[in-house]
Amino acid sequence: MRDFLLGPLKSWTRTTAFVGKDVIEVVRRPGALFSLIFGPFVIMGLFGLGYSGQYRPLETVLVVPANSNLPTDPNFYQPYLGESVHLAQVTNDANAARDQLQRQQIDLLVIAPANVEQNFLTGQQSAIDIEYNELDPVRDNYARFVAYRQVQELNRAIIQQAVSSGEQYVVQSTGSQQAVQIPPEIVAAPTRAEPKNLAPLSPNVVAFFAPAVLALVLQHMGVTLTALSLVRERLSGAMDIFRVAPVRALEILIGKYLAYAFFNLSIAAATCFLLVGALHVPLLSTPGDVAIVVVLLSFASLGLGLLISTVVDSERGAVQLSMLVLLASVFFSGFVLPLDQFITPLRIAAYGLPVTHGIQLLQDYMLRGSTNQAWELQVLAGIGLVLFLVTSFTVRRNLRSAD
């Protein structure tokens, strides 16, 4: 009977001992507790303060043919465009403006018809060509909406010029018994929008987000794998062996890079094969262009993970920081929400994340065939190099302080 009563009590004592041990272990690391509680809160707070929820005004060039008799002063049209469009230039060179659009220096190209007045007086509707260059299905629909909306407003501006000449013409024609019959629908809408997307293709949601998912997975995998590597060696006492062994910090670091780069690049190759072969995601560039981006993204991601592993003191802390990096990447990298909807300081900070550049470059190479943001390759390589240098310093410091 006594053993029957003492058995559950002993079991309860052993269970509560583990509870007490784990609680004390967490309390003894206030930094880990702070990051666990306040890290996500800070990220969500920055997101709430920095996200505007509004698209920036679309930079627009208006092409007015030389013989159209339409005004060429941008100030004449801007009041009709509203806050969603900023008229950067009025020109008569459609080819030069279209070249700007292809280089993604502007967002919209509006080409006014040359014979608005003549078409109006003969009862015909004129077409306003509106061109844009968007891969994102959401921004594609937004550009179309803005195009149709602005044509309605531009109708008011264009018809003012046409009607001012047309009224006199109609009166004169009526006096000579040659009245012009203008249909009511032409009077109400003398022009119509003909939007055209100059992007090489219009991807569906899966095809558009597939390169972004690939970039996010590569960064998170590189950060998570390497963030645990040096922590385990410090906790297991391997750092003590490295300290007395004839091995340099640079050799340790390069070995870590090569080992985890093998896993990262192997998984990247398999993932790309599945995306293109199974999901039929387009690959318009050469595989070499995508490979360069993947290598640079992996290099920067491994450096970020190794840096985390040198500044934390436990595996729990490494996992927490890795998850915070993932959370920040989802919110601020352009993975879900465009970067131009955030305030400037957050946009600048977002470019410090390797995945921000990886998403842009992979989408451009896979879905456009080339990129107008080649500078992001240099920035991505620079991020990786800076992380490598900083991590090499922290590894040397850890070797000197190992005990």
pLDDT tens per residue across span 271-285: 999 999 998 999 999
Output 155 or 23, whichever has higher pLDDT: 155
The Cα angle at residue 88 between residues 339 and 193, in degrees rounded to 5: 90
SS3 14: helix
Residue 21 confidence class, pLDDT cut points 50, 70, 90: low
At residue 310, the pLDDT reads 86
In CATH, which of 2.60.40, 3.40.1710, 3.40.50, 1.10.443 is domain 58-197? 3.40.1710
| Token output for 48 | 């709430």
Highest mean pLDDT among 59-73, 112-126, 179-193, 298-312: 298-312
pLDDT tens string 104-129: 999 999 888 877 767 777 777 888 88
Q: Which residues are paired to 89 by β-bridges?
A: 61
At residue 154, the pLDDT reads 67
Q: Percentage of the chain with pLDDT > 90?
A: 34
Query: d(Cα 7, Cα 17) in Å, to the nearest integer?
Result: 16
In order, the DSSP letters of 235-292 are HHTHHHHHHHSS--HHHHHHHHHHHHHHHHHHHHHHHHHHHHHTS-----S-HHHHHH
At residue 33, the pLDDT reads 57
**pLDDT over threshold 70, residue 156:** no
- Supply the mean pLDDT for the chain: 81
**pLDDT over threshold 70, residue 66:** yes
Q: What is the pTM of this model?
A: 0.82
At residue 172, the pLDDT reads 43
At residue 168, the pLDDT reads 46
At residue 232, the pLDDT reads 76
Using CB atoms within 10 A of its CB, is residue 55 exposed (0-12), middle (13-18) or buried (19+)? middle
**pLDDT over threshold 80, residue 265:** yes
**pLDDT over threshold 70, residue 179:** no
Residue ranges of domains in the chain? 58-197, 203-401
At residue 174, the pLDDT reads 45
Residue 343 confidence class, pLDDT cut points 50, 70, 90: confident
